[in-house]
Copies of this chain bind each other. A is one copy, B any other.
Amino acid sequence: MTVWDRPEPRNAPVPLDREQIIAAAIALADEGGLEAVSLRKVAARLNAGPMRLYGYISTKDELFDLMVDEVHAEILPAEQPGDWREALRVLAHRTRQAALRHVWLADLLGGRPTLGPNGMAVTEAKLAALDGLADIDTTLRAAETVSSYLIGAIRREIANLRAERATGLSKREWQRASGPHLTKMLATGRFPTLTKVVHHSRETNAEESFATGLDWVLDAVAAKLTPPSA
């Protein structure tokens, strides 16, 4: 065996730490979705063998948790508005934007408790915005209600976005032209209200829908924070 066919002693012996692993995994997910993330591919991107990762990570789910936490760092704004409502609104919109940048986030959001440092910082920010405006239980319920709406709305939006992308058409076009199944379903007459809505509703802008629903939920929260009797 000559020097030439002997493998290099190490392929770019990058020191390799968690951050790099997470970054590589996120890059992979951004490009090809969550299912494109395999430990082998993440390792390959770092010029390492698959088993090397297990020094920094103990399971694939743990890697997903770390990815989610990393994105939560993007979500937390530099500075928070003093107004609780504005603070929650900003947090919500930043979460949505992060999900649009990293569509795979929708698959993970709400799937596990967020115990990472950044995720907890976001939770803290939500609670802090509401702190002192009502008793603790109401504060907690308010934060949870807003978060629930957030998770559901983002998931729905991304799900629709993917469906549209799959057919490559706008929503309106999609349901009319490329959705023969839906058309047939509606034609059965078993869904009169749905049919009416589909045909007569305005062309919807996703961001506007999100913002409107969010405002409604915030209205509801506001009503509970400042009880009408007080």
Contacts and interface: CB of A to CB of B under 8 A. Distances in A.
A159 interface: yes
This chain's copy number in the assembly: 2
A159 to B, nearest CB: 5
Contact of A145 (B106, B192, B217): B217
Interface in A17-45: none
Contact of A131 (B107, B117, B160, B193): B193
A124 B159 contact: no
Describe A's contact surface by its main secondary structure: helix
A156 B163 contact: no
Interface residues of A, number: 60
A155 interface: yes
Contact of A141 (B109, B152, B156, B213): B213
Given A136-B196, A156-B110, A124 B216 contact: no
B197 A127 contact: yes
A227 interface: no
Contacts of A190: 117, 121, 124
Given A123-B194, A131-B196, A217-B220, 14 more contacts: A106-B111, A115-B181, A117-B190, A120-B194, A127-B194, A140-B197, A141-B216, A149-B152, A150-B152, A151-B151, A151-B155, A216-B217, A217-B217, A219-B220
* Nearest 3 CB-CB pairings of A with B: A148-B152, A151-B152, A152-B152
